[in-house]
């Protein structure tokens, strides 16, 4: 098997560090370790199904280790790797009720919010799933405060995701460029495969769970019809794709120009998706790539969260259509 050559994730991070003369190296250490966590998780994801077989006769696998669900495995891999990075003071996870504090001796300058395995209800069907993360600078160097994790998304210093699909891909932004890396399984390295990703300006893909139509607020159906109405006999301008795994839907939309909507509705009046672990990091990436993200009431990145597991409506994709949807949502709320 031939091995790729090119810029590795570590080289890319180090080159970016050189453009920040005051950098201490902690951010680079953190990003490198997030790459390591991604490799550990992908190794387990590739064994999905087998883990359950090992677990079928008891609670241990053939190595005698206790069998855990994949989302728990991902959670532990991410937490342990970041704890030992020396760059993180605290973490907030979709899988945990409270903030995970790193002991002072190991603590660094950053706070990370993450969803260890987004889309996990799709694991059994072999659908792409992923890890989403948001990075903040801690506010106080002496103690970790609740306000260190309850931060608006506009204070993120970086965000990204690792998607476990037909290949393992890591996409991250430090707010300047959005860059994509693909894992070469033959040598275990992430290589830069998509430098400076820009989200296409026009919506080519429409992505929404239409099964929820009965619960939608009044603005959603006419908006969807408006977007579909851009097709005519001569030209199909828009198509529909909805995986139901947010990280996979977002990744496709980022590359091809797609609009994803999970509005607040009668079943989820406060929204379904989590502000800290899903909406904020993806909104930060979308904006850095030229797109936009709204809750339906305003910019996602300006939400001031009051709860670690707060939810929100999410409209994310090409700027013009996010703005159009938000305008209709606001008008219908008047």
Q: Which of residues 18-57 bind ligand FDP (CB under 6 A)?
A: none
Residue closer to ligand FDP by CB (options 108, 258) is 258
Is residue 251 at the binding interface for ligand FDP, with CB under 6 A as the rule?
no
Tell me if 13 sits within 8 A of 191, measured CB to CB.
no
Q: Write b or e for each residue in 255-283: b if 16 or more Cβ atoms lie within 10 A of its Cβ, otherwise e.
A: bebbbbbbbbbeebeebbbbbbbbbbbbb
Tell me if 328 sits within 8 A of 263, measured CB to CB.
no
DSSP string, 129-179: EEEEEEEEE-S-SSS--HHHHS--GGG-SEEEEEEESSSEEEEEESSS-EE
Eight-state DSSP code of residue 201:
S
Is residue 95 at the binding interface for ligand FDP, with CB under 6 A as the rule?
no
φ, ψ of residue 292 to 5 degrees: the values are: -150, 165
Is residue 139 at the binding interface for ligand FDP, with CB under 6 A as the rule?
no
Interface segment toward ligand FDP; rule CB under 6 A; list 62-70, 244-252, 299-307, 316-324: 244-252
Binding ligand FDP (rule: CB under 6 A), the pick from 108, 119, 263, 318 is 119
Interface segment toward ligand FDP; rule CB under 6 A; list 6-14, 15-23, 118-126, 288-296: 118-126
C-alpha dist (Å) from residue 109 to 102, 135, 235, 280:
11, 10, 52, 20
Is residue 118 at the binding interface for ligand FDP, with CB under 6 A as the rule?
yes
Q: Which of residues 148-177 bind ligand FDP (CB under 6 A)?
A: none
Residue closer to ligand FDP by CB (options 119, 180) is 119
Residue closer to ligand FDP by CB (options 81, 207) is 207
Eight-state DSSP code of residue 58:
S
Residue closer to ligand FDP by CB (options 8, 245) is 245
Binding ligand FDP (rule: CB under 6 A), the pick from 3, 24, 98, 121 is 121
Binding ligand FDP (rule: CB under 6 A), the pick from 28, 75, 120, 149 is 120
- Residue 52 C-beta: closest distance to ligand FDP, Å: 17
SS3 85: coil
Closest of 106, 105, 46 to residue 74, by C-alpha: 46
Cβ atoms < 10 Å from Cβ of 243: 18
Q: Which of residues 272-301 bind ligand FDP (CB under 6 A)?
A: 272-273, 278
Interface segment toward ligand FDP; rule CB under 6 A; list 54-62, 112-120, 165-173, 228-236: 112-120
DSSP H/E element including 293: strand 292-294
Alpha carbons within 13 angstroms on the beta-carbon side of residue 263 total 27
- Residue 332 C-beta: closest distance to ligand FDP, Å: 21
- Residues in touch with ligand FDP (CB under 6 A): 118-122, 209, 244-246, 272-273, 278
């Amino acid at each position: 098997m031939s091995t790729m050559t090119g810029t590795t994730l570590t080289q890319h991070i180090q080159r970016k560090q050189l453009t920040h003369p005051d950098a201490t190296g902690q951010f680079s250490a953190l990003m490198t370790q997030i790459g390591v966590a991604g490799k550990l998780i992908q190794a387990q994801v590739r064994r999905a199904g087998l883990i359950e077989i090992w677990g079928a006769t008891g609670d241990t696998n053939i190595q005698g280790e206790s069998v855990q669900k994949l989302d728990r495995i991902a959670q532990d891999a991410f937490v342990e790797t970041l704890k030992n990075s020396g760059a993180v003071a605290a973490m907030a996870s979709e899988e945990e009720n409270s903030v995970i504090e790193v002991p002072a001796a190991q603590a660094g300058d950053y706070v990370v919010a993450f969803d260890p395995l987004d889309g996990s209800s799709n694991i059994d069907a072999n659908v792409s799933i992923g890890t989403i993360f948001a990075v903040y600078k801690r506010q106080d160097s002496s103690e970790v405060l609740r306000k260190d994790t309850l931060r608006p998304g506009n204070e993120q210093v970086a965000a990204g995701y690792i998607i476990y699909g037909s290949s393992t891909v890591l996409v991250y932004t430090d707010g300047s460029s959005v860059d994509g890396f693909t894992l070469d399984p033959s040598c275990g390295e992430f290589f830069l495969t998509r430098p400076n990703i820009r989200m296409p300006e026009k919506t080519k893909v429409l992505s929404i769970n239409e099964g929820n139509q009965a619960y939608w607020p009044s603005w959603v159906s006419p908006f969807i019809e408006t977007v579909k109405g851009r097709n005519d006999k001569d030209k199909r301008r828009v198509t529909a794709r909805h995986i139901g795994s947010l990280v996979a839907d977002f990744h496709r939309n980022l590359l091809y120009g797609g609009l994803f909507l999970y509005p607040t509705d009668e079943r989820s009046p406060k929204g379904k998706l989590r502000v800290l672990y899903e909406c904020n990091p993806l909104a930060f990436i979308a904006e850095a790539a030229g797109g936009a993200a709204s809750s339906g009431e305003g910019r996602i990145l300006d939400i001031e969260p009051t709860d670690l597991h707060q939810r929100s409506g999410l409209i994310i994709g090409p700027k013009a259509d996010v703005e159009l949807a938000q305008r209709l949502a606001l008008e219908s709320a008047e």
